[in-house]
Amino acid sequence: MRTIVRFLLFVVLACTLTAHAELVKVKGKGEIAYTTSHFKQGSADELAAITEAKKDALTRFASDFDSARFVLYKKIEPEVLSNIDQYVTDYTQLDQQDDKASKRYTVFIEASVDSTAIENAIEKSSGPNAPAAAGTATANAGGSYMTFVFVARELASSKDFDAKRTTVEINESSEAGAQKNKVADDGQSAETGLDKNSVVKNTTGGNTEIKASDLTYRATTVTYVDNAVNSVLTKANYEVVDPVDAGLDVESFKNDFSSGDDISPGTRSAAIKNCKDKEISYIAIANMDVGLPEKDEATGLIRVYVTVTAKVSDLTPKFPKTVASIAGIPYAGLGSDPQVAKQNALNEAATRSASELVDQLRMKGVK
């Protein structure tokens, strides 16, 4: 009976660990030069080639990181590579090549990279318990308070204006002539005549005025977007405060973004004052533009793009300063219909943009 109980506990623990590990399949290539007369399967040379393939898979995995996350990864890369089997949990050998002439052995694998382990290592090196870089902000042991407002907006109407053309025409005319004298046949009188040449010159010009389109947006806040952002910030050890609890007027953010690309000075001033009064260190504000649905030719599904512009302000100094920003990065979502595609795009945009902001904060030592 005890054996059965132990076995069940082992299965539950294994399932729990598996659920927390997110494995990403990445291909890798390893190549080594061997010094023996011929290559042997199962030898140290083969193991060395597989290790190189694992490292190559990790390099390929990290190449997809945004710039801020890549900088963070490079800090832990030596540790990751020296403990490669902790981060590449298993692999499948796809192919191998043995060039006997040059004595080079090459192996191709598909590795399972534990992205959760990579994230934990990054968090450990840049989290609240990590040493702060000189001149950077530091947080309390429990993390800094942060609030955020992510506004999603769709185009409600667009008014286009016809081009206005103004034409100016100048007409100039001139005449030139030559006088001719002719003596009459009687020799006593003369005839006088004048030959005339007429020249007309036309000059045209003007300008064309094109008025910008008048755009109106529907701006909303979306629960699953807020949940996605909240999850990223919480995992990064920020104490997230709901914007309502922070005293922010969310409707004013929505109204501002419905007619422009930024919030008004009044909305910003009021938000900063409320956050400072409640000792909230950071505020993240994002505008998420939802594009029109289109067909994805590769899958046949509907695709929607969401373009994110975001900024995180540090409110602890006398004057707020920007410590992280995103300028118009597009994220795509696929779905069976436009609504599903839009929801997936917003989820993707919220998660990845929040992660990008957190990576920028970590890179600067802002915790």
CATH number at residue 117: 3.10.129.140
Two structure tokens written together for 224? 């699953």
- Burial class of residue 139, CB neighbours in 10 A (0-12, 13-18, 19+): buried
Task: Report how far apart, in Å, the C-alpha atoms of 154 and of each of 119, 217, 326, 328, 362 are.
Answer: 33, 5, 19, 15, 32
- pLDDT tens, position by position, 338-348: 999 999 999 99
pLDDT digits (tens, 9 = 90+) for 13-65: 344 444 456 889 999 999 999 888 788 888 888 999 999 999 999 999 998 88
Q: 54 with 38, same domain? A: yes
Is residue 349 domain-resident? Answer: yes
Task: Judge if 223 and 261 occupy the same domain.
Answer: yes
What number of CA atoms fall less than 13 Å from residue 296's CA on the CB side? 16
pTM score, whole prediction: 0.65
Rounded CA separation 354/237 (Å):
13
pLDDT in tens, 178-196: 566 665 566 565 566 656 6
Quote the domain boundaries for residue 187. Answer: 164-209
Do 324 and 358 sit in the same domain of this protein?
yes
Q: Please tell me whether residues 109 and 150 are part of one structural domain.
A: no
Residues 242 and 198 grouped into a single domain? no
Point out which residues pair with 109 in neighbouring strands: 28, 93
**Together in a domain, 65 and 94:** yes
- DSSP readout, 57-108? HHHHHHTTS-HHHHHHHHHHHHHHHHTHHHHEEEEEEEEEEEETTTTEEEEE
Number of separate domains in the chain = 3
The answer to whether residue 14 sits within a structural domain is no
Question: Locate tokens 């291909």: which residue?
Answer: 27
How far apart (Å, rounded) are the C-alpha atoms in residues 77 and 121?
Answer: 10
Angle subtended at Cα 366 by Cα 129 and Cα 332, rounded to the nearest 5 degrees = 110
Question: Do both 144 and 284 map to the same domain?
Answer: yes
| Distance, CA of 95 to CA of 107 (rounded, Å) | 6
| Structural domain contains residue 133 | no
Domain identity same for 178 and 290: no
**CB-based contact 344:296 (threshold 8 Å):** no
- Cα dihedral 162→165→166→170 (10° resolution): -160
Query: CB neighbours (10 Å) of residue 262?
Result: 13
Distances in Å between the Cα of 71 and the Cα atoms of 74, 78, 164, 238, 255 are 5, 13, 51, 21, 37
119-131 pLDDT tens trace: 888 888 875 555 5
Cα 49 to Cα 263: distance, rounded to the nearest angstrom:
55
Please give the residue that has the higher pLDDT: either 306 or 195: 306
**pLDDT beyond 60 at 290:** yes
Q: 122-136, 213-227, 294-308, 314-328: which has the minimum mean pLDDT? A: 122-136
Q: What per-residue confidence (pLDDT) applies to 185?
A: 61
Query: Residue 157 pLDDT > 60, yes or no?
Result: no
pLDDT of 197 strictly over 70: no
